[in-house]
Amino acid sequence: MKLRADQLKQHLSKGGFQPLYIVSGDEPLLLQETCDTLRHAIRTAGFTERECLNVETGFNWNQLLESSQNMSLFGDRKLIELRLPKAKVDEAGKKALAAYIETPSPDNILMLILPKLERKTLSTKWFQNLEQQGALIQIWPITDQQLPKWIQQRMNQIGLQPNADAVELLCERVEGNLLAAAQEIEKLALLIKPGPVNGPTIQAAVADHAQYTQFELVDEAIRGNHSQALKILNFIKASGTEPAAILWSFAKDLRALEGISAQHEKGMNMSRAFRDFGVWDNRKPIFQKALQKHRSALFKTALQEAVNIDHAIKGLAQGDPWIGFSNIILMLSGALKPGTLSI
């Protein structure tokens, strides 16, 4: 059976537990809170023992069957939590889960916790068999459009009544980070009395969780997201970060981009060029997007702008390094064409 997260409490209130609960999703806060709700209800119902199994490399799936068969010394009923770091189960795991659900013990409840499941997995016969014998709870992320309502409801639950300005400001501050939002709402509950909450109250009490680093700045610039990159640049500038630290991050990646692009234009295989310039696998998609969009000449011009920034920082030339960074960001997005630039 399928259960929405908002149906879980009603399901649990009826008292008829499933032998298996599959909780799947990529939003850490919502996943954790859903599991906590299950744990509390199951413990209240008398399943006072809890055993956690983490499926890591080399995990022996026989542990699951052994755990389900081992009786507690005190005769306690048990919740078995099986945590998977990836939303994939090998053949041994499929067989063990199928064997478990075929003859589940009334003294055990299994909670399978894993990341978001792909449609391909959901449609397989072995998984559908699990779902039919238990309950699947898929945790969906909160979209930007849903976030204001989520924050409003969460604040209402603790007696706070925010107006539209307060909700909007909190949404802006936490940048879609639900954990940060939850923490700030908890902080508000400690700082102010229940009742109406307005924008100035949020302004005074809420820390700005839109924390960025120069690495995020460079990644957004390389992606061509100039509006986000400029926003991060302004934040970093206001936080007092030294321009030299930012320049190091920009220059390192610009040199790699210029070199890879130049070599590729000469006929070198892209994979070899990435290897020669030491680009990590997790950053290759970002680089590939930029390399498809621009030729080596643009990266060379951006590097020259980095040299101008370096001279300005060292006092060897006049100019504002922050304007120079903005120029590089706009060049990488295509919003600024290479030409005569001034910092």
- Residue-wise pLDDT for 264-316, tens only, equals 999 998 889 888 888 877 788 999 999 999 999 999 999 999 999 999 998 88
Q: How many domains does the chain have?
A: 3
Same domain, 134 and 153: no
User: Tell me, what CATH number does 326's domain have?
Assistant: 1.20.272.10
CA distance 123 to 136: 13
Higher pLDDT, 71 or 47: 47
DSSP state of 142: P
Task: Answer whether residue 210 shows pLDDT above 60.
Answer: no
Assign 330 a pLDDT band (cuts: 50, 70, 90): very high
Residue 266, domain extent: 214-333
Q: Per-residue pLDDT for 40 more than 50?
A: yes
The pLDDT tens digits for 135-155 are 999 999 898 889 999 999 999
Residues 35, 102, single domain; the answer is yes
Same domain, 193 and 155: yes
- What's the mean per-residue pLDDT of the chain? 87
Q: What pLDDT sits at residue 340? A: 47
Give the angle subtended at the CA of 90 by the CAs of 105 and 111, to the nearest 5°.
35
- For every residue of 277-301, which 3-state class applies, written as one string? CCCCHHHHHHHHHHHHHCCHHHHHH
Q: Is the model's pLDDT at 89 over the cut of 90?
A: no
What's the pLDDT score for residue 309? 94
DSSP 90: -
Predicted TM-score (pTM) of this structure = 0.61
- Residue that the structure tokens 């939590």 belong to: 81
Co-location of 222 and 324 in the same domain: yes
- Is residue 286 included in any domain, yes or no? yes
198 lies in the same domain as 221:
no
Strand partners, 53: 82
- What mean pLDDT comes out for the span 305-330? 92
**Domain CATH for 178:** 1.10.8.60
Q: Is residue 342 part of a domain?
A: no
Query: Tokens 């898929």 correspond to what residue?
Result: 138
- Does any domain span residue 16? yes
Domain stops at, among 188, 205, 222: 205
Q: Are 110 and 20 in contact (CB under 8 A)?
A: yes
Is the pLDDT at 338 greater than 70? The verdict is no
| pLDDT, tens digit (0-9, with 9 covering 90-100), for 46-55 | 888 888 888 8
Choose among 233, 231, 279: nearest CA to 252.
279
Q: Give the model confidence (pLDDT) of 90-105 as tens digits.
A: 899 899 998 888 888 8
From 139, 155, 186, the end of a domain falls on 139
339: pLDDT confidence band, cut at 50, 70 and 90? Answer: low
Average pLDDT over residues 189-208: 80
Q: Are residues 220 and 318 in the same domain?
A: yes
116 lies in the same domain as 166 = no
Question: Does the pLDDT of residue 342 top 90, yes or no?
Answer: no
Asked if pLDDT for residue 208 goes beyond 60, the answer is no
Same-domain pairing of 231 and 314:
yes
The answer to whether 116 touches 27, Cβ cutoff 8 Å, is no
Residues 313 and 244: beta-carbon distance below 8 Å: yes
Last residue within a domain, chosen from 139, 171, 187: 139
228-238 confidence digits (pLDDT tens): 999 889 888 87
Same domain, 135 and 151: no
- The residue with tokens 């630290």 is 245
For residues 207 and 215, give the distance between their C-alpha atoms in angstroms, rounded to a whole number: 22
How far is CA 329 from its chain centroid? 24
Q: Are 198 and 165 in contact (CB under 8 A)?
A: yes
Greater model confidence, 325 or 336: 325
- Each residue of 106-117: pLDDT tens digit? 888 999 999 998
Any domain includes 341: no
Percent of the chain with pLDDT over 70: 95
Going by pLDDT thresholds of 50, 70 and 90, the confidence category of residue 170 is confident
- Any domain includes 343: no
Q: Do 13 and 128 share a domain, yes or no?
A: yes
User: Is there a contact between 112 and 84 (Cβ–Cβ < 8 Å)?
Assistant: yes
